[in-house]
């Protein structure tokens, strides 16, 4: 699995994801070109390294190469606070990802999408994992699998923001919505 981590919190989520993928028997590889100078992200990176997860020095040049090397790509580039123009290297990365044929799983929001309106000509992931609650853009999600994760919102907050979250089964922390 190729896990592509962006420069902010979504990238941090990607690092956590990579570590868990390793624990669950997958073989993740991380690409993490822009790393924030903060202890949280440095710690997450260290954890991945201690789990022997390789970090690519450069992004695969072509979509065909990604298709050959990986069965899945986790898109952890941009999250819900993304706005405006895409800075390099993420512009080229997203262009390449738009051309791969292996499935993409996006964390919270497909990278580059507007959090409410989506992006018609943008990334089209096969799987979306909405964190805490789906964002408005999820209405434009056309992939096969939409999951909800982040089972920790207290009842009082759910009511305050009228989240209307569906009940999670048993002790699962993930719920399949479609």
Partner 1 sequence: IPVSSRQAFPLPSLPRKQPTVLVVCGPAQNGAIGLVCARHLRIFDYEPTIFYPKRSPDPLYRDFTTQCEKMDIPFLSYLPTEVQLINDAYNAVVDAVLGAEAEMGEGREPCAAILATLKHVRIPIVSLDVPSGWDVEAGSSGGISPDVLVSLSAPKQCARRFLGRQHFVAGRFLPYDVQKKFELNPPEYPGTECVVALRAPR
Provide the minimum distance between the beta carbon of 66 and partner 1 in the complex, in angstroms, as a whole number. 26
Is 164 a binding residue for partner 1 by CB under 8 A? The answer is no
Of 50, 83, 87, 160, the one binding partner 1 (CB under 8 A) is: 50
Residue 116 vs 159, nearer CB to partner 1: 159
CB under 8 Å to 167, separation ≥6 — which residues? none
What are the residues facing 118 on neighbouring strands? 114
Of 37, 52, 87, 160, the one binding partner 1 (CB under 8 A) is: 52
Residue 50 vs 87, nearer CB to partner 1: 50
Separation between Cα atoms, residue 147 and residue 161, nearest integer Å: 20
> What residues between 118 and 157 interact with partner 1 by CB under 8 A?
151-152, 154-156
29-31 and 2-5 strand pairing: parallel
Residue 25 vs 84, nearer CB to partner 1: 25
Separation between Cα atoms, residue 98 and residue 92, nearest integer Å: 10
Provide the minimum distance between the beta carbon of 99 and partner 1 in the complex, in angstroms, as a whole number. 31
Token pair for 32: 């993490």
CB under 8 Å to 177, separation ≥6 — which residues? 130, 134, 146, 147, 148, 166
Under the rule (CB under 8 A), what is the footprint of partner 1? 19-20, 23-24, 47, 50-52, 151-152, 154-156, 170-171
């Amino acid at each position: 699995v190729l896990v592509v981590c962006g420069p902010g919190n979504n990238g941090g989520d990607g690092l956590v994801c990579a570590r868990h993928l390793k624990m669950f028997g997958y073989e993740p590889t991380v690409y993490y070109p822009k790393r924030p100078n903060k202890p949280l992200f440095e710690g997450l990176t260290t954890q991945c390294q201690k789990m022997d997860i390789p970090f690519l020095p450069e992004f695969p040049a072509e979509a065909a190469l990604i298709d050959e090397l990986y069965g899945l790509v986790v898109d952890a580039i941009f999250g819900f606070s993304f706005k405006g123009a895409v800075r390099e290297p993420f512009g080229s990365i997203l262009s390449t990802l738009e051309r791969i044929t292996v499935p993409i799983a996006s964390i919270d929001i497909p990278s580059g999408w507007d959090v409410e309106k989506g992006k018609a000509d943008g990334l089209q992931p096969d799987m979306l994992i909405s964190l805490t609650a789906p964002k408005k853009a999820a209405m434009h999600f056309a992939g096969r699998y939409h999951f909800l994760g982040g089972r920790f919102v207290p009842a009082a907050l759910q009511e305050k923001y009228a989240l209307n979250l569906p009940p999670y089964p048993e002790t699962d922390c993930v719920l399949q919505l479609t």
